[in-house]
Chain A
Amino acid sequence: MPFYVSPEQQMKDKADYARKGIARGRSAAVLRYDGGILLVADNMSRTLHKISEIYDRIAFAAVGRYNEFENLRQAGVQFADGRGYAYDRRDVTGRALANAYAQTLGMVFSESLKPYEVEIVVAELGETAEDDQLYRISFDGSVYDEGDYVAIGGQVEEVSRVLKERYNPGSSLATALGAAMQALARDEGERRELEASSLEVAILDRAREHRTFRRVHGARLERLIEESRGAAGANGDTSGESASGDDTENAAPENPDSDTTKGGE
């Protein structure tokens, strides 16, 4: 039975659908710190990762539907390894990968019935801090070139707001982790206490050679969390005060600080 739906309506419905799917999951945050880039996700699973290594200096963080972003992750690894082998390892760039993801997501969004319910970050560690790049790619293929930090996922507005409040450029790893944990704790509208067991943490470490991606877990993560709490306490930071600013749910996950490039360039 043929019937007419305007393209505008169709796109709007798809976007609403994708946003709702993404909003069901917990958030992730990616921040620059004085030694590299920190990636933190609120993730109970030890084996189903939201944060992964793509290449020597490129990491991937994602929220949303696991099977969809896992596909994107694997495609990214193939893309990067294939390019690095055919050309040179230095020719694998975060920008090329972000563009490839944007193309794929943009195509899926406009051409298939169901859009991907994912939001991803491609983080690239530069030779120097000025060359670091954080790209956020949305379910419709929009690419955002972010500054020092970026949040994706469920209640991204609230998470971003806390990050903006707590984050300082050039902070240490522990301080950056503390900011990320406070931000992610505001996820889901309520304040929760995040623990090592519910966090997935990784870094792109500028001090390392070859592959700079390292997962941070176990005793090292516990120590970092302790350190970040100590630092917060020393600053007289009462991380407990209620700041549930009740931003009404106009779920558009837009970061006001970011440059926007619609579509896949």
Chain B
Amino acid sequence: MERVKVLIVDDEHDFRQLFIKRFTLRNLDVDGVGSGREALKALDRKEYDVVVLDVRMPGMDGIETLKEIKKHHPSSEVIMLTGHGSVKSGIEGMSHGAFDYVLKPFKIDDLLERILKAHERRVLSRGG
């Protein structure tokens, strides 16, 4: 079975590295970028099943990036990752087409489950 392709977008380098290591270990194909702009470039280069997107980033923030992604790559599923204020921004993200949201600090199995579900939906929607 083909590995699920995941793009992690977070401005914190250490976090990105740990994320990549841990999800690679769980048999996902993970790449990481540090900003919204880079994420859009990466999506142009390669097709990702799921984008895990931090809400609060310098420059282009999570919600803006989400809108751009949904505009240019509507088939990619997005999970919002929020350490910010409340669930509000997560919910706002969902209203703009995000698949789900996860609060920092998350449990790895919880996030893995959501990524797999998002992938499942993408496969279903493409197939259907």
**A and B part of one assembly:** no
Binding site for A on B (CB under 8 A): none
